[in-house]
Amino acid sequence: MAPAAEGGTSGKARAGRGDHSSPKTARAAAGRSGPGSRSEPGSRSEPGSRSGPPPRRPGCEPAAAPHRPKPVARPVSTDDRPGPPAPSGSQEPLAPPGLPRAFDLAGLRRSLSGWYARARRDLPWRRTSDPWAIWVSEIMLQQTRVEAVLPRYEAFLRAFPDPAALARAPEETALALWSGLGYYSRARNLRRGAGIVGERYGGRFPADPVEAARLPGVGPYTAAAVLSIVYGQPLAVVDGNVARVLSRLFRLEPPHGTSPARLRALAQALLDPDRPGDHNQAMMELGALVCVPRTPRCGDCPVAESCLARRSGEAAEYPRRRPVPAPEESEPSLLLLRDDRGRLLLERGRWPLLPHLWLPPVRETAAAETGLPPRLRPVPGSLAELGGFSHAITRHRLRFRVHGGLLRPGPGSLPAGFLLLGVDALEGIGRSSILDKALRVEREAGRKRRAGF
Ligand code: SF4
């Protein structure tokens, strides 16, 4: 899931600025947002997933000419603190917390809100204020495109018009109506969540963000989306679309500028407290329709005046990719040491790249000074190189040299962290494909030896 908005205010603080936690107040809040705007979840996709962008246009469209002299566009500081107080008598407005100095917050909210009222897509979950219907839409839209959700959403709600209907239905029935959406664990979690909501919350999505985020498959992001849309709670949502818009608006530089905490702080600072649901949906819709991944349509963008990446002509360069560390190459030795019964020596916890798996000893060197306990070292003269194989673990590019040798550990139990296992028993341990590759090298070396190579 995309970085989740956890909100920047406590439940107490939210209650202090208007608690819309009842259906009545939710409807009242919705009414303030204008016709048809009560429940308008936008797409919640990671780039290229749930809500696909419209057909791509070549290049970033030319930006609308600004009506005032262009300020020098600078990347936003990664410091979350607002700018220092303006000197006494200064006309310069203070930056809201989390935003750059002199940011026209009111102008951005106004432009975004007007654009959303004109340009938003007419989608079935935008025609309801039913928390259950919004909840279902949010879960369906996780990692699934709007086009795939549309044919299944209403059929699902017809079959399960409320949480109780889903909770009492057999799981197979729920999964059948989920078919085509994939990620079936979402349907199972939704059904479990529906049962919990019936048992603990009177059949309604809980209004407390912490309680809501504990429901199976919900989490802080989905909780913020549902609570802002349904109950008007001032909780900013940061999904993949919103993260992209923020990265461009403020020219955020990774890693600190694009950290989840920084993105949440910026989204929360932009959030319109009078219409948080509409604002969240507008930001997501902007990312889905205009500020699309490869070729942002800056010429159609309602917030172009505020956008630092657009001003610097680098809109398509953001979000910046994290610098990829150079691969680390090495040639470790892997020791296939067998005792007289053919059992293989394995160890766990020693090799730092895979400390939790049972593997043959991996060392810098195959020589006797391997750090193995003396009784687990290969019989002198038995060690021979069998071949090699390549393997990659994250940025580590490993060229293993496989050495086979004999082991005579003597009687008594092995030191902690070591095992001697026969071939059959190897199937029963959690093991890396490194072991399989090494055994293939051993078999191939044996075949060549028998063939007289
Ligand atoms: Fe262009 Fe996106 Fe900036 Fe809008 S927010 S001006 S679409 S880069």
- Please give the number of the atom of ligand 1 that sits closest to the Cα of 244: 2
| Number of the ligand 1 atom closest to the C-alpha atom of 290 | 7
Characterize the bridge pairing of strands 344-347 and 328-330: unpaired
Question: pLDDT at residue 189 above 80?
Answer: yes
| Rounded CA separation 290/118 (Å) | 13
Give yes or no: residues 202 and 101 share one domain.
yes
| Cβ contact 392:330 at 8 Å | no
Quick one: angle between helices 131-141 and 185-200, nearest 10? 160
- 3 within a domain of the structure (yes/no): no
Q: From atom 2 of ligand 1, which residue's Cα is the shortest distance away?
A: 291
Q: Average pLDDT for residues 20-24, to the nearest whole number?
A: 31
The reported pLDDT for the residue numbered 277 is 97
Residue 315 Cα: closest atom of ligand 1: 8
Q: What pLDDT shows up at residue 354? A: 86
| 220 and 106 housed in the same domain | yes
Q: In this structure, is residue 5 part of a structural domain? A: no
pLDDT at 100: 76
Residue to mutate (ligand 1; options 112, 250, 290, 305; most atoms within 8 A of CB): 290
> Do 440 and 372 fall within a single domain?
yes
Instruction: Check 138, 285, 347, 442 and give the catalytic one.
Output: 138
Of the chain, the percentage scoring pLDDT greater than 70 comes to 77
pLDDT band at 257 (very low <50, low <70, confident <90, very high): confident
Q: How many angstroms does the Cα of residue 316 sit away from the middle of ligand 1?
A: 9
pLDDT band of residue 309 (cuts 50, 70, 90) is very high
Q: Are residues 399 and 345 part of one domain?
A: yes
Q: Between vectors from CA 190 to CA 188 and to CA 194, what angle results, nearest 5°?
A: 120
Query: Within this chain, do residues 254 and 376 fall inside the same structural domain, yes or no?
Result: no
Q: pLDDT value at position 295?
A: 96
* Shared-domain flag, residues 74 and 96: yes
Its domain, for residue 353, covers 328-450
Residue that is last in its domain, among 266, 287, 317:
317
**Which of 19-23, 172-176, 263-267 bottoms out in mean pLDDT, i.e. has the lowest?**
19-23
Q: Which residue, of 293, 317, 341, is where some domain finishes?
A: 317
Greatest alpha-carbon pair distance for the chain in Å reads 94
Tell me, yes or no, whether 323 lies in a domain: no
Rounded to the nearest whole angstrom, what is the distance from the C-alpha of residue 52 to the centroid of ligand 1?
A: 17
- 207 Cα: distance to centroid of ligand 1 (angstroms): 33
Residues 389 and 312 in one domain: no
Give 270-304 pLDDT, tens digit per residue.
Answer: 999 999 999 999 999 999 999 999 999 999 999 99
Interacting residues of 137 by C-beta distance below 8 A, sequence separation 6+: 41, 124, 125, 149, 153
Backbone angles phi, psi at 35, to 5 degrees: -60, 135
Q: Are residues 269 and 343 both part of a single domain? A: no
Angstrom distance (rounded) from CA 3 to CA 419: 42
In a domain, 403, yes or no: yes
One domain for residues 265 and 120: yes
Q: Is residue 175 scored above 80 in pLDDT?
A: yes
Are 245 and 367 in a shared domain? no
In a domain, 1, yes or no: no
Q: For residue 44, is pLDDT > 70?
A: no
Q: Do residues 393 and 353 touch, judged by C-beta distance below 8 A?
A: yes
Q: Is 45 helix (H, G, I), strand (E, B) or coil?
A: coil
Where residue 260 sits, what CATH number does that domain have?
A: 1.10.340.30
Q: What is the pLDDT of residue 84?
A: 33
Is residue 61 included in any domain, yes or no? yes
CA distance 271 to 376: 64
Q: Is pLDDT of 428 > 50?
A: yes
Instruction: Report the run of H or E that residue 345 belongs to, with start and end.
Output: strand 344-347
Predicted TM-score (pTM) of this structure: 0.58
- The verdict on residue 395 lying in a domain is yes
Of 426 and 238, the structure prediction assigns the larger pLDDT to: 238
Within-domain flag for 27: yes
> What's CA 440's distance to the chain center, in Å?
37
Query: What digits encode the pLDDT tens for the residues 79-128?
Result: 333 333 333 333 444 555 667 777 899 999 999 999 999 999 999 999 99
> Measured in angstroms, how far is the CA atom of residue 342 from the centroid of ligand 1?
65
Q: Which of 317, 346, 370 is a domain's end point?
A: 317
Q: Which of 201, 262, 283, 228 is nearest to 14 (CA)?
A: 228
- Report whether residue 296 contacts ligand 1, using a CB cutoff of 6 Å: yes
pLDDT tens column, 190-200:
999 999 999 99
The residue behind tokens 């505020």 is 306
Q: What percentage of residues in the chain have a pLDDT greater than 90? A: 57
DSSP-based three-state secondary structure for 350: coil
Look up the CATH number of the domain holding residue 414: 3.90.79.10
Nearest atom within ligand 1 for CA of residue 301: 4
User: By C-alpha distance, which of 326, 452, 319, 344 is closest to 402?
Assistant: 344
pLDDT tens digits along 365-415: 777 567 788 889 989 889 999 999 999 988 899 999 999 999 998 888 899
CA-wise closest residue to 57 among 306, 285, 315, 312: 315
40 catalytic? Reply is no
For 335, phi then psi, to 5°, come to -105, 110
Nearest CA to ligand 1 atom 1: 298
Residue 432 in this model has a pLDDT that exceeds 80? no
- How many domains does the chain contain in total? 2
Residue nearest (by alpha carbon) to ligand 1 atom 3: 307
Q: CA-based angle 39:44:45, to the nearest 5? A: 155
Atom nearest to 318 CA in ligand 1? 8
Cα 238 to middle of ligand 1, angstroms: 16
Tell me how far the alpha carbon of residue 246 lies from the centroid of ligand 1, in angstroms: 9
Kindly state whether residues 98 and 207 are assigned to the same domain. Answer: yes
In this structure, the answer to whether residues 131 and 185 fall within a common structural domain is: yes
Q: Whose Cα sits closest to atom 8 in ligand 1?
A: 315
